[in-house]
Chains A and B, each alone.
Chain A
Amino acid sequence: MAQMNLLQAINNALITAMTDDEKVMVFGEDVGHFGGVFRATSNLQEKFGKGRCFNTPLTEQGIIGFANGLASQGSVPVAEIQFGDYIFPAFDQIVNETAKWRYRSGGQFTTGTLTIRTPYGGGIAGGLYHSQSPEAFFAHIPGMKIVIPRNPHQAKGLLLASIRDDNPVLFMEPKKLYRASVGDVPEEDYELALGKADMVQEGTDITLLAWGAQVEIIQQAAKMAAEIGISCELIDLQSILPWDVEAVCESVCKTGRLLINHEAPLTGGFASEIAATVQERCFLYLESPISRVCGLDTPYPLAHEKEYMPDHLKTFEAIKRSMNF
């Protein structure tokens, strides 16, 4: 075990993957000698050479197009998009190419070895284009997997599993936690299962569901709720696509209430998908309407960041509304 922050855990996972398999290659903007604008790829070029860790020209559609070709050749690309906000130029390559490669070729060719890493999320005074949480755009793409860790231990285990999974994975890293989240991380090689939620805390009155940096927020809200006698069950979804419907529904059937929290805007956010599914499956167990505590349906603002965010207080108030319904 070693103490690592989330960035160090990601760096450690990349070193582990590159040591284990010489076909793993890491590339993107500024990831080479410089080691990435967040330092996630520090020392990789020194350790593994310029052939396996390199800078690309500044072109997101190019990075993912290149990665698609590399993956279909049999290499194991780990492509970085510097900010989740800048993944949209590569949307066509991801939606129409990466995700459909295996299906359209009848399984003859695949991009299954591809992993796309990208920092996402707000809370860092990033304004419109350094704060977005684009997971719901990608949750609408059959063929993709989407994974989001909340701490260093998860980051390493889930990233290693993503790199080795035989499907393209979008791995989204909560940049607010890059240095803020510190914890014990095994130095050895390990993987955490994709598609599985993590039970953070058991409770009996209401289920609170979140992912990434927002798990901390529902933890804070749950503490406040406990002080007034409300017992919250906390789940970290971890995988957005495919998501762990069983864990969520089992919890909701037990508590009878569900609150989903995410930073991304409400309309079309992934909470809508979860709410509709839970409503279908747990209809007779629900004691109050499913609550969604999300970002506003506005671009992500700078000066009003604090007001925009679905914080612990908004979550606490929603818990009370649900309990008093």
Chain B
Amino acid sequence: MQDRNHLSKVNVVSTLAVIENGLLDIPMIQLLDESGTETNPEQSPNIDEHTAKKIASTMQYIRLLDERMVGAQRQGRISFYLSCTGEEASTIGSAAALSDDDMIMSQYREQGALAYRGYSTEQFMNQMFSNQLDPNKGRQMPIHYGDKQLNFMTVSSPLGTQIPQAAGFAYGQKMAGKEAVTISYFGEGAASEGDFHAGVNMAAVLNCPVIFFCRNNGYAISTPAEEQFKGDGIASRGIGYGVKTLRVDGNDVLAVYAATKMAREIALAENCPVLIEAMTYRLAAHSTSDDPTGYRSKSEEEKWRAKDPLDRFIKWLDAKGWYDEKASEAFLDKSRAEILAAVKTAEKVDVAPIEDIIEDVYDVAPWHLKEQLESLKSHIKQYPEHYPKTAGRIK
């Protein structure tokens, strides 16, 4: 490739012409069409039966979990929830193409990747109910998952911050000689943050084995993509940073899986970032605090419902002879019962004791935090009826 890094190396022409975005026009790779037929069997990834079934059941499970937890939020049992409906192929298909040693740094709509890694229903519930079994110790809002064992970095609300962080994490993996990459998930809205620019550019210049995975689902809350950027989506920016880039059909598990697998191989072999833009649609509301009927039409949603990533993948499984409808029904029944039971269990578990409020701010609580805790405890003891969750448990 031509070295374009300095003025002295730029091609010189004498024709006055602007360069237009449309000339780039990056195509979207699709390997499985809406009828569940492989578009180019030679390019289809070699997914074994076990992996294919695990992807499908994780997609089914997450859809069920989302539906039930939106219900639980409506009943006031949890404070907040955020579904990933419509985007299961993007997050689960990509997670399936990774190694368990790869670090996942997500935005917040990637519960599918976490479920694929093996996060249990109980673990999901403990986090959402902010009880004392939550690994975050009840400190963060629901859906801000994290699990050290599963190499899933704890989610934080500020958007885009994980993009340069993923570059740094990947750099550390490379320097430590690990055969592992980092994947950073984010939405097309978050890609407007300065941290996207900073992170992708740094990863390119500093040769970091990181996969930037953008879920371009058309909306950032109420803001449609056309009010988010004017260029050819997010993929065109990768090219500008000198980053190898793919655009895939985000509702097509085969394309997402194949692209992520290829990206991982390139990132590891060449110590460089790869950007994947998965084109999909946020069928869900942004969150339980949002009502999309205020900013988009039912007919638009219906159009995308017809492109359902789960239906499409099941058609493919079925054609392979790997889909058993009865077994699938039984799995859903079992999962439904499991989720219901886990809700009932998790909501009965106490919140962490009040002493925990000052832990983990530092490695060891300094003098001022200890003083503030003592003062808080004597206050709670004075007004126990106002602090029922902790008053009876003060040591």
Contact = CB atoms under 8 A, between A and B. Distances in A.
Interface stretch (B282-290, B298-306, B362-370): B362-370
A109 B176 CA distance: 18
A52 B171 CA distance: 10
A144 B19 CA distance: 47
Nearest to B171: A70
Contacts of B166: 69
Given A62-B164, A104-B139, A74 B148 contact: no
A77 to B, nearest CB: 7
B84 interface: no
A104 B198 contact: no
Contact of A57 (B103, B139, B158, B201): B201
B148 A108 contact: yes
Contacts of B182: 69
Nearest to B357: A103
Contact of B202 (A57, A97, A166): A57
A158 interface: no
A75 interface: yes
A104 B172 contact: no
A229 interface: no
Contact of B199 (A52, A65, A70): A65
Residue among A92, A104, A143 with most chain B CB within 10 A: A104
A105 B136 contact: yes
A245 B167 CA distance: 39
Nearest to B105: A69
A234 interface: no
B201 A77 contact: no
Contacts of A23: 175-176
Contacts of A65: 161, 163-165, 167-168, 195, 198-199
B367 A245 contact: yes
B166 to A, nearest CB: 6
A251 to B, nearest CB: 17
B156 A67 contact: no
Contacts of A104: 136, 139-140, 144, 154, 156
B347 interface: no
A105 B134 CA distance: 10
Contact of A103 (B144, B206, B360): B360
Contact of B205 (A57, A72, A107): A57
A105 B167 contact: no
B7 interface: no
Contacts of A100: 156
B165 A69 contact: yes
Interface string B115-137: 00000000000000000001111
A92 B156 CA distance: 12
A106 B139 contact: yes
Contacts of B197: 59, 62
Contacts of B171: 66, 69-70, 75
A102 B194 CA distance: 24
B114 to A, nearest CB: 14
Interface string A7-28: 0000000000000000101000
A246 B368 CA distance: 11
Given A59-B198, A62-B202, A69 B135 contact: no
B361 interface: yes
A324 B20 CA distance: 75
A66 B134 contact: no
A97 B359 CA distance: 17
Interface string B157-195: 010010111111111110110000010000000000011
Given A106-B146, A108-B135, A108-B146, 14 more contacts: A23-B175, A54-B206, A57-B202, A59-B201, A62-B201, A64-B164, A65-B198, A66-B165, A66-B167, A68-B161, A73-B169, A106-B134, A109-B146, A109-B154
28 contacts: A25-B175, A56-B202, A59-B194, A59-B198, A61-B194, A61-B195, A62-B195, A65-B161, A65-B168, A66-B164, A66-B206, A68-B168, A69-B166, A69-B168, A69-B172, A73-B103, A73-B172, A93-B161, A97-B158, A104-B136, A104-B156, A106-B146, A108-B136, A112-B363, A142-B361, A145-B362, A167-B362, A242-B366
Interface of A: 23, 25, 51-52, 54, 56-57, 59, 61-62, 64-75, 77, 89, 92-93, 96-97, 100-110, 112, 142-143, 145, 166-167, 195, 242, 245-246
Q: Which 6 A-B pairs have the closest CB atoms?
A: A65-B164, A69-B168, A62-B198, A73-B172, A69-B165, A105-B154
